[in-house]
Amino acid sequence: MSMLKVEDLCIKVHDRKTTDTLVQDVDFEMNKGDIMGIVGESGSGKTMTALAIAGLLSRHDMEKSGHIIFEGINLLDIKRNVLRKIQGNEISMVFQEPLNSLNPLKKVGWQVEESLRIHTSMDKNEMRDRAIEALRDVELQNPEAVYESYPHELSGGMRQRAMIAAAMIIQPKLLICDEPTTALDVTIQAQIVELLKRINRERQTAILFISHDLSLVNTLCERVIVMQHGLVKESGLCDDIFNNPQDEYTKKLIAAIPKSPFGI
Amino acid sequence: MKYVIKKLLTTLITLFAVSALVFFSFSVIPGNPAVSRLGTEATPEKIEKLTHEMGLDRPLPERYGEWVLNILHGDFGKSYSYNQKVTSLLSEKIGTTLILSVIAIILTVAVAFPLGIYTARKSDSKLDVVLTSLNQLIMAIPSFFSGILITLLFGFVFKLFTPGAYVSYKVNFLRCVGYLFFPALAIALPKISMVVKLLKDTALKEANKDYVVTAYSRGNATRAVFYKHVLKNAMIPVITFLGMTFADIIAGSIIVEQVFSVPGLGRILLTSISGRDYPMVQAIILLLSVFVVISNLAVDFMYRAFDKRIRV
Ligand SMILES: Nc1ncnc2c1ncn2[C@@H]1O[C@H](COP(=O)(O)OP(=O)(O)O)[C@@H](O)[C@H]1O
Ligand SMILES: [Mg+2]
């Protein structure tokens, strides 16, 4: 049995008169230690898919159907309090904008520890030790100082590392990263991707990596799903799709990648 | 620490500017205090003599310098109309107005925060619709009018206090507070509804921010998301608003004192203005400004303790 199995996932939003389908018939599976990419242009439904898996789409005007089976439990029909035990514990998420995703008024350390505070009964010192360890593990210099700082005092790259530390602190089985590098400089982007690779290798954490950048997905992931207008256009091994795209949209995406001096 | 010193320094400069403004503006408005004092007996010679005695023929900057120096020694001069020291005339009234303002401030905070939090948490319940409409109504009623309604309702119908029977805090502090509660309520009511609305609006706005999604993604319950994340952020505009409101409450007490026959600074300010009693008027305005400036300073410090991003 796979760790995560998404079947026929549909997300609809009801307006007063109309119903919009944001995501339609998304299917995929992930196992422990897998690293999977979702690519597609902006508005293709990547974020909606990610939020649904993380249990963060609970708006009244949104209707989800299909199955999101995580470790044998369908996340779409469990109670909120059961879901909360999985959120931040077994499934964690890293978002696109590290600054906005951090609470501006709380110290970074407090936010990194939050999952421990919610899901464990550790005392303050234990949590602090673990948080500093987690901050060191995402290659932040001087983790003690980062622990005591406020989000506005860090650079964009440092914030995103802190967000990854917060997501990883409790060793989740699945880490969902929704365009984690889009808001960052190119050099920092590469570093974050390397960091995610290392985490995946060392911890066997499954990573669902979402990006609009196909070449970035190709450097990180084994498998990829190509989405457009809420539909899965193509899915399979990165190498296959890159070298031999079947779908017109995938071909366009590949053609749009600027040629790097090393070739792709 | 540097920040504190800087703030205190700007506060001092502000107070100096206010003192100059107060002094010079009352010196240029038309009307000669000597004439007001002499009334119908005024002959040109008498006016000239009194003007000289009162020192009003001396150059303005000189008089200003003297006035400020005396104030620094705790001497606000003598009232023209009562012929007594301004400080002894005002000391009790300052206490009265301060007590009134402080009760109004405490009432505002003590009622508005729980109510604001409640309406923000239950923003789609039926009770919220009722509360919101009621709130709009209260916000629109000026203090002097709600003062009249409160006098009628609590004074004459429920007989919770006897309108007009103010007891000085020097005689009986508790009874004084018991009386001042009602004018304070009149002052606080519109402020409460504004703070409730602001707190609710900002909390709902904060609830849509990205860090709230992060908080949910870690397994927080809705209640924890609100109290641990949203509330503190929503408080920032509220604190700013409270700073302005405190100033407003102090100024607003002047009018409400009339409605409830409270012998505070308000009443004596009005009589002093009509009597061209400049030492009194200047002293009262200066004192009110000091209250306002100090309350703003307190809010600044509070704000700073709250939001570490503020660097002034
Ligand atoms: N809150 C919302 N209400 C209604 N529609 C939305 C909302 N957020 C996004 N959408 C729509 O859902 C579709 C998919 O959005 P999203 O998943 O954010 O795309 P992506 O992450 O791939 O850029 C888009 O067409 C977008 O307009
Ligand atoms: Mg997106």
Which of B227, B206, B225 minimizes the C-alpha distance to B217?
A: B225
Prediction ipTM score:
0.94
Which tokens hold the place of A255? Answer: 């053609």
Q: In chain B, which residue's Cα lies nearest the Cα of A119? A: B219
- Pocket (CB within 6 angstroms of ligand 1): A 13, 22, 40, 42-48
Q: Do B213 and A95 touch (CB under 8 A)?
A: yes
Domain ranges of chain B: 2-72, 92-198+243-269
Mutate to test the interface with A, among B210, B217, B235 (most CBs of A within 10 A): B217
Residue B220 in contact with partner chain A when CB distance is under 8 A: yes
Q: Model's pTM, two decimal places?
A: 0.87
Residue that is last in its domain, among A171, A196, A211? A171
Residue that is last in its domain, among A156, A171, A186? A171
Q: Which atom of ligand 1 is nearest to the CA of A11?
A: 12
Shortest CA gap B4–chain A (Å): 21
* A134 and A219 fall within a common domain: no
* A58 and A106 fall within a common domain: no
Which tokens hold the place of B92? Answer: 């009790």
On average, the pLDDT of chain A sits at: 93
CA separation for the pair A193, A199 (Å, rounded): 10
Q: Do A85 and B221 touch (CB under 8 A)?
A: no
Q: Do B308 and A97 touch (CB under 8 A)?
A: no
* A46 and A150 fall within a common domain: no
Q: Of B126-130, B139-143, B242-246, B295-299, where does the model show the most confidence?
A: B139-143
* A232 and A118 fall within a common domain: no
3-state secondary structure of B164: coil
Residue that is last in its domain, among A171, A191, A224? A171
Contacts (Cβ under 8 Å, ≥6 apart) of A147: A107, A108, A109, A112, A128, A131, A132, A135
* A82 and A1 fall within a common domain: yes
Start-to-end CA distance of chain A, whole Å, equals 35
Domain around A127: 98-171
Share of chain A above pLDDT 70, in %: 98
What are B159-193's pLDDT values in tens digits? Answer: 999 998 999 999 999 999 999 999 999 999 999 99
Q: What is the domain count for chain A?
A: 2
Q: What is the pLDDT of residue A259?
A: 66
Q: Cβ contacts (< 8 Å) between A89 and chain B: which residues?
A: 219
The CATH number of the domain holding residue A219 is 3.40.50.300
Residue A72: pLDDT band with limits 50, 70, 90: very high
Q: Do B211 and A104 touch (CB under 8 A)?
A: yes
3-state secondary structure of B161: coil
What are A114-148's pLDDT values in tens digits? Answer: 999 999 999 999 999 999 999 999 999 999 999 99
Mutate to test the interface with A, among B218, B236, B238 (most CBs of A within 10 A): B218
